Structure 1
Amino acid sequence: MIPARPGSSPAVTVVGIGADGWEGIADASRIVLRNAEVLIGGPRQLELLPGECPGQRVAWPSPLRPAVARLLTTYSGRRIAVLASGDRMFYGIGRALAEELDALHVLPHPSSVSYAAARLGWPLEDVEVVTLVGRPAARLAAALHDGRRLLVLGADATTPGEVATLLRDRGFGPSRMRVLEQPGGHEERVTPEATAEDWCDLPGDPLNVVAVECRRAPDALRLGAVPGLPDDAYEHDGQLTKRHVRAATLATLAPAPGELPWDIGGGSGSIAVEWMRTHPSCRAVTVERDPVRAERITRNAERLGVPGLRVVTGDASATLAELPAPDAVFVGGGLTAPVLLDACWEALPPGGRLVANSVTLESEALLADAYRRHGGELVRLAVAHAVPVGGFTGWRQAMPVTQWAVQKTVNPAPGEDR
């Protein structure tokens, strides 16, 4: 129960219902549904209710999210029960209602994920859940790691085929798949196991969960769970923060769940992409003036499992004011005048981090000046690779990178611009 504050409207009750319908609902939930004056839910859920639930039945419109506040206002003061499948505080309508209401009562039902784990004998704490309901299939790519088990919440009957296609395309064709249809219902069915390579995309039930045991093909590029993906993971034209410098840069930026950075001068988008890969709740905005590179960033983001990356095409100085407030800023390109660094600094909230990389003497001078004014840390990153030298092996030095990193202090001392 989310407690009501003084003067708040009567609580709305969310009632979970499964594919087994009315007979699978607990007695406490049945009492709520019988006494509700208004019953809101999807058409499929509403059809599962018997005539002994006399309340006015209201189907959610599409798109659903913008309609939540309007429907709650329309039926304010009446006893409202919201029907939803399974546990609706897990990828469900409960979140949207909790954001709108001061009082919310939730009566959950076992989720399709719980049913799937029970049928497969998979401990839920060892399983990653990815929902594709209202989301692009490309986001599944970020969860692909050899040996991991995934439960994918299907959007409709096409989801299993989309999952198999994505697995093959990302080098995980040997992965084993099963589909659980109508989990918990009278028509529950578990398909025979098959690999993604051999998956036969026959029509199935639209209510499904896809179980995947990830197996990477021997020749597929290995993508780890920490920043510093291989350079070959990216489509690029040379404008790419290289692997070792990228790993050091992201370690300094220190992404945390739910945070959003600006990636200025995106190039190939590697910093923003790997920021978002650190946690499903992370977001990012990258700014790139070259439209060809901007399109390339979008492709890289989709390929690497973060299709939600926002790509802004245009000059950074003209677009920063329109962006959401950042938790951190990375400047990897366009560092030709102090005005850009100053604008990024002003946009940072207290506690925000700024990291800027440079390979030219001119931009290095700008970083040195910023270091003098704001403090922080100024470091030189140098990487050398072993290469053949005749019949021997020697070192080939990459261009050194000067990096300025600083955190905006919450309460700067008098006269301190920090």
Structure 2
Amino acid sequence: MSVVSPSSAVPHASPAEPVTIVGVGADGWPGLTGPAREALRAAEVIIGSRRQLDLLLPPPQECAGERVVWPSPLRPAVPGLLAAHAGRRIAVLASGDPYHYGIGRTLTEVLPQLPLRVLPHPSSVSLACARLGWALEECEVVSVVGRPLARIAAAAHEGRRLLVLSAGARTPGEVAALLRERGFGPSRMRVLEQLGGAQQRTYEGTAEDWPHPPGDPLNIVAVECAAAPDGLRLGAVPGLPDAAYEHDGQLTKRHVRAATLAALAPAPGELLWDVGGGAGSIAVEWLRTHPACGAFTVERNPERASRISRNAERLGVPSLRVVTGTAPGALAGLPTPDAVFVGGGLTAPGLLDACWAALPVGGRLVANTVTLESEALLVEWYRRCGGELVRLSVAHGVPVGGFTGWRQAMPVTQWAVCKGTDSAVGGDT
């Protein structure tokens, strides 16, 4: 068994015939289909992780090709490794379904012109659902393999079923601790190890009193979410309770936040700039709308920037990228946004100009303010560029002696606009 170094890469060469991707389960060679076995027998080179390659043993006479271990990091090594074996019949091993968090996606993205023949095996998720009697389409799958565990928090809702793809033996205990901390201690957890293999086993408990030590590293965690009675309820749409955030008063309040996210209109895969982050609530709730969304928040105060990171972690969107600095200078070099929210610093010279210039055609800009000076600026931009100018007023019922009356919050002026093909900075549209 050999290991190829990334330094030996020949970046542009490619094999002359299709690379065969073979999905392998925990049962190894005995669980492979006839076509999968034939592909491995015919391969001159078999590439995979050490664990995957070991699953093909003991019969080396069954697949006598040279066995090559993927180097680490894997992704940058792919072109050179395949080029080094160009002209030979290559088989690549995958765990289960190659296109479910697997090597298939990596090969397709890194070498989009590479011809592939794919022979999938049932994924661990499919095997788990078969074992549990769960409908796969009704489950939320969360991978923590090379990804933050905190992502589970955004998927945890009362009555939902989660399948967590584990990073190793300690993952079940870490999942239990996170669920306890996020108010889901009563959740039932089942750990399914070595699914499909001779050593498969299942054990269970609740998150609040998880009794089990680390077991086999090859496992998947099934969670039936149940919220603690005294837990803070977090819904699936924007407008989370203000109490969900750690803040120092610089927070876009719940009702205005919901209206702001509606104006920003996030869609899967889109990127937000949140300028003047405060507590990070707009960026956090943008990210919670879909796991494919991305966001940068820019905050000049280092203490608030740290607080934003903590809020993002606690609310299940640790992918939020926090830039500590003053806009517009801190915006330089950020990826092109699909939408921009300006929640503070509107009167900073050149800020709106920089945000507007960064937006592509079809991009949205939403700005909120409570001051007359910033409102005058938004009115001027509204005159130039159009869009929608609204005033949001919220009043809360409060005790007045033995009765109840209204206490008015400061009204918020909001400008929302979509950049058109004829838009120009500072010009009429």
Global fold match (TM > 0.5) = yes
One of 344, 359, 362 as aligned partner of 1:351: 362
Structure 1 unaligned regions, length at least 5 = 1-6
Q: Does 1:403 align with 2:414?
A: yes
Please give the residue correspondences for 1:12-411 in structure 2 after superposition, counting only pairs within 5 Å. 12-49=19-56, 50-51=59-60, 52-99=62-109, 100-102=111-113, 103-191=115-203, 193-337=204-348, 339-410=350-421
Tell me the TM-score normalized by structure 1: 0.95
Question: Contact 1:289–1:315 at 8 Å: present in 2 too?
Answer: yes
Tell me: CA distance 1:417–1:94, structure 2 relative to 1, closer, same or farther (3 Å).
farther
Checking the alignment, whether the CA contact within 8 Å between 1:337 and 1:366 is kept in structure 2 is: no
| Distance in 2, Cα, partners of 1:9 & 1:363 | 63
Give the counterpart letter for 2:251 in structure 1. Answer: L
Alpha-carbon distance between aligned partners in 2 of 1:341 and 1:101, rounded to the nearest angstrom: 39
1:258 CA drift (Å)? 0.6
CA distance in 1, matches of 2:368, 2:96: 48
Q: Which residue identity lines up with residue 92 of structure 2 in the other structure?
A: V
Larger deviation: 85-94 or 334-343? 334-343
Give the AA of the match of 1:167.
Answer: L
Whole-Å separation in 2 of the counterparts to 1:313 and 1:338? 18
For 1:403 and 1:72, how far apart are their aligned partners in 2?
54
Report the aligned-residue RMSD. Answer: 1.5
Q: Contact conserved, 2:193 with 2:202, CA < 8 A, in 1?
A: yes
1:67 alignment partner AA = A
CA offset at residue 11 of structure 1?
A: 2.1
- The answer (yes or no) to whether the contact 1:15–1:83 under 8 Å persists in 2 is yes
Deviation at 1:373, TM superposition (A): 1.0
Distance 1:255 1:8, change over 3 A: farther
Higher deviation after alignment, 229-238 or 309-318: 309-318
- Tell me if structure 2 keeps the 8 A contact 1:338–1:366: no
Cα distance, 1:222 vs structure 2: 0.1
| Secondary structure, aligned partner of 2:350 | helix
Q: Which string of whole-angstrom CA distances, capped at 9 and with x for unpartnered residues, describes residues 258-291 of structure 1? A: 1111000000000110011011111111000100
Aligned positions, number: 410
State the Cα distance separating 1:36 from its structure 2 match: 1.4
Shift of 1:337: 3.3
Identity of aligned residues (%): 74
Structure 1 residue 309 displacement after superposition: 0.6
> CA deviation digits over 1:43-63, x for unaligned, max 9?
011112231212221111222
Instruction: List per-residue Cα deviations over 1:2-36 (Å, max 9, x = no partner).
Output: xxxxx995322211000000010111111111111
Tell me the CA shift for residue 319 of structure 1.
1.8
Which 4+ stretches in 1 moved above 6 angstroms?
A: none
User: Once the 2 structures are TM-superposed, how far is the Cα of residue 80 of structure 1 from its aligned partner?
Assistant: 1.5
TM-score w.r.t. length of structure 2: 0.93
Question: Conserved in 1, the CA contact under 8 Å of 2:172 and 2:214?
Answer: no
- How far apart, in 1, do the equivalents of 2:185 and 2:122 lie? 31
